Amino acid sequence: MRKESPRIKSWVIVVSVIVLFIIAGFTMDGRKNMPAPESFMGKVIRPFQTVLYKSTSAVSQKLRPVRDLFSLYKENKMLKEELLVTRKELIHQTMLREEFEDLKKLRKALNYSIRNSLSKSVTAEVIGRNPSNFYNMFVINVGQNKGIVKNSMVYNGSGLIGQVYESGDDWSKVLSISDSKGAVSFQILDSKRKFNGIVKGNGGENLEGYFYDEKAVAMIGDKIMTSGVGIYPRGVIIGTVVDVNNDDKTLLPTIKVKPYVNFNKVNRVMVIPPVKEFKEEKQNEK
């Protein structure tokens, strides 16, 4: 049997380390198109992954009431407090709705059309998760065959989750907003204070951001949503403001935001291609 000398082994390791560092450096930002062998590998493994993930999730769902037994009291108290706030909001929303219906009629009368990109969303299921605890990343079962490309927005009923990092033929990797490199343009969800800003993950549990306007007023408990500027369409809820400060250098108000989505409990998501893709699509149609 052939036996390599320790010196050759060491050289192989050194060369491999250098090559891998270079490859990692080029691929750490995510690639627009996943190479065919990688896409194929994901395609082959996907059926096994789907079956295993679904079975595990089903068992986990059955056991959840037992696991959540101790947190029920706390959750109940929190829900009661939320109910009080929601009642007040409901009255306010009812008034706004009437106003909105009037505006809709006006829009129809003026023959004004708007693009509703959220209606183009594709439903997907989570079929795998990253084990490193370092990146909040997971795999979904849709890819380029459903029009999903890099930077497509991912959300669910609770709010914004993140963006597609890389996509294969029929699977994609999703990176959460708490880890995302890309910033999200936001707007306060209040008709009287329509202040815009930018929010992005800082690696921790909360997001950090700032307003464009130094006169912007934000309060703890304010809800923020995507403003429609950039790759994310308007109107997807992001989270609640948990801290407000002022940056001494820029004099701009800064905020910390707790995302609504619990990334560990996400099982089904909606994906929509980035706004740019829609623009291109619309141009092609013309």
Partner 1 sequence: MKNRHLIIFAIVVVLIQMTVLHIFNISSVVPNLTLVMVVVSTLVLDEVSAVKYAVFSGALLDILIGRGLGVNILAFMLLAYFICKTTGSSLFKDSVATPVLLISGSTVFLFMFLAFMNYFSVGHLKPLFWSIKVILIQIILNNIIGVPIYVFAISRRYRKRY
Q: Give backbone dihedrals phi and psi of 161, rounded to 5 degrees, phi first.
A: -105, -50
DSSP SS3 for 118? helix
85 binds partner 1 (CB under 8 A): no
How is residue 177 written in tokens?
């907003």
127 binds partner 1 (CB under 8 A): yes
Shortest Cβ 168–partner 1 spacing (Å): 9
Are the beta carbons of 271 and 125 closer than 8 angstroms? no
Report which secondary-structure segment, H or E, holds 280.
helix 275-285
60 binds partner 1 (CB under 8 A): yes
Q: Which of residues 133 and 283 has its CB atom nearest to partner 1 in the complex?
A: 133
DSSP SS3 for 212? coil
Shortest Cβ 213–partner 1 spacing (Å): 25
Are the beta carbons of 107 and 94 closer than 8 angstroms? no
Number of residues that bind partner 1 (CB under 8 A): 50
Candidate list 21, 219, 245, 282; residue touching partner 1; CB under 8 A: 21
132 binds partner 1 (CB under 8 A): yes
- From CA 220, how far away is CA 257, in angstroms rounded? 9
52 binds partner 1 (CB under 8 A): yes
Q: Which of residues 168 and 233 has its CB atom nearest to partner 1 in the complex?
A: 168
Which of 193, 276, 192 shows the shortest CA–CA distance to 229?
A: 276
Beta-sheet pairing, 223-226 with 184-188:
antiparallel
Q: Which of residues 22 and 79 has its CB atom nearest to partner 1 in the complex?
A: 22
- From CA 118, how far away is CA 270, in angstroms rounded? 9
Shortest Cβ 279–partner 1 spacing (Å): 28
Only segment of 15-23, 212-220, 225-233, 271-279 that touches partner 1 (CB under 8 A): 15-23
By CB under 8 A, the residues from 145 to 204 that bind partner 1 are 165, 173, 175, 179, 181, 202-204
Q: Which of residues 130 and 196 has its CB atom nearest to partner 1 in the complex?
A: 130
- From CA 278, how far away is CA 173, in angstroms rounded? 21
131 binds partner 1 (CB under 8 A): yes
Please provide the DSSP assignment of 40-82 as one string.
HHHHHHHHHHHHHHHHHHHHHHHHHHHHTGGGHHHHHHHHHHH
207 binds partner 1 (CB under 8 A): no
Which of 137, 135, 165, 136 shows the shortest CA–CA distance to 153?
A: 165
Shortest Cβ 202–partner 1 spacing (Å): 6
Q: Which of residues 211 and 263 has its CB atom nearest to partner 1 in the complex?
A: 263
Q: Which residues bind partner 1 (CB under 8 A)?
A: 4, 9, 13, 16-17, 20-21, 23-30, 38, 41-42, 45, 48-49, 52-53, 56-57, 59-60, 127-135, 137-139, 165, 173, 175, 179, 181, 202-205, 263-264
